[in-house]
């Protein structure tokens, strides 16, 4: 039996770019279809019924029509527009980083319901978290885990010995921690404090509620951010535009 022409799905809008005079090309992440691309026809016209229901970072219930080319978004009704994100530059920029990371790291058409749930939950937590930087770090860690890139934090990735208290290093290309002996001989590594290692392990196993209660010093937070940012850069072989934008906001004192 052939697939029905129309199908319904929840979706989070990861990206939206102009297409022609009034259409938009939309990248969606869905619970059971994974990442898909579709066309929203006429959505940029002022009288479009799709309107604000097909905007960046909207979680919506959509009706799509199959097409020989890209599928067409026929209807969309917002489930959650994450309004607090749109009222705060830092939070909205953090959410765009989340969306860009999912878009860059995931292939099209591969179902991953836990990843969809992680994405939706992360956007919700970014609306209200006290420490959005920790929300981002926890998101990165769990996204890596879903995609098979979870860093090794308990054994040295070179000699495989258990990590003991002391001096540690992180190697992006090795995908985890190096002990003091191996790290001292390696190139392209970053020092990883014992406290930073403990926090990274905590991020791997904890939920957002527990993570948002953490209180980190500026130096510790910077060490963890550096480790995760360089790991992202290694995996993507490029910088994310949204990451550069977050760095700019932080330099200008707008991280809040």
pLDDT tier, 1 (very low <50, low <70, confident <90, very high otherwise): very low
Write the CATH number for 15. Answer: 2.40.50.140
Cα 138 from Cα 121, distance rounded (Å): 12
220 domain residue, yes or no: yes
Please state the domain count of the chain.
2
Task: Decide which of 81, 108, 132 is a domain's last residue.
Answer: 81
1 domain residue, yes or no: no
Cα Rg for the chain, rounded, in angstroms?
A: 20
DSSP 189: -
Tell me: do 67 and 103 sit in the same domain: no
Question: Is the pLDDT score of 4 beyond 90?
Answer: no
Cβ–Cβ < 8 Å for 140, 164: no
Question: Measuring CA to CA, which residue among 202, 200, 203 is closest to residue 192?
Answer: 200
Query: What is the per-residue pLDDT across 94-143, written as a single tens digit (0 to 9) for each?
Result: 999 999 999 999 999 999 999 999 999 999 999 999 999 999 999 999 99
Write the CATH number for 126. Answer: 1.20.1440.120
Strands 34-40, 71-80: pairing is parallel
256 domain residue, yes or no: no
Q: Is 188 left (phi over 0), alpha (psi -120 to 50) or beta?
A: left
162 domain residue, yes or no: yes
Report how far apart the first and last C-alpha atoms of the chain are (Å, whole number).
Answer: 53
Two tokens, residue 9: 């799905």
Give the dihedral sign, CA 122/151/101/196.
Answer: positive
Which residue range forms the structural domain that includes residue 66?
Answer: 6-81
Mean pLDDT of the chain: 92
Tell me: do 23 and 142 sit in the same domain: no
């Amino acid at each position: 039996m052939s697939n029905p022409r129309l199908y319904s799905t929840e979706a989070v809008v990861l990206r939206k770019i102009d297409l022609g005079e009034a259409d938009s090309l939309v990248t969606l992440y869905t619970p059971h279809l994974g990442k898909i691309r579709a066309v929203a026809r006429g959505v940029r016209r002022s009288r479009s019924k799709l309107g604000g229901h097909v905007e960046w970072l909207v979680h919506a219930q959509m009706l799509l029509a199959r097409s020989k080319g890209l599928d067409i978004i026929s209807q969309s009704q917002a489930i959650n527009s994450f309004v607090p994100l749109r009222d705060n530059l830092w939070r909205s920029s953090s959410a765009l980083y989340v969306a860009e990371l999912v878009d860059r790291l995931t292939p099209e058409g591969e179902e991953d319901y836990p990843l969809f749930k992680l994405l939706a939950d992360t956007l919700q937590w970014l609306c209200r978290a006290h420490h959005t930087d920790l929300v981002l770090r926890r998101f990165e860690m769990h996204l890596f885990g879903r995609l098979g890139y979870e860093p090794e934090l308990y054994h040295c990735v070179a000699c495989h010995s258990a990590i003991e208290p002391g001096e540690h290093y992180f190697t992006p290309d090795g995908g985890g921690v190096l002990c003091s002996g191996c790290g001292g001989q390696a190139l392209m590594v970053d020092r990883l404090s014992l406290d930073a290692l403990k926090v990274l392990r905590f991020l791997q196993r904890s939920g957002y509620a527990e993570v948002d209660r953490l209180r980190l010093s500026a130096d510790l937070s910077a060490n963890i951010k550096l480790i995760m940012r360089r790991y992202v850069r290694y995996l993507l072989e490029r910088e994310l535009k949204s990451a550069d934008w977050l760095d700019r906001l932080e330099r200008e004192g707008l991280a809040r």
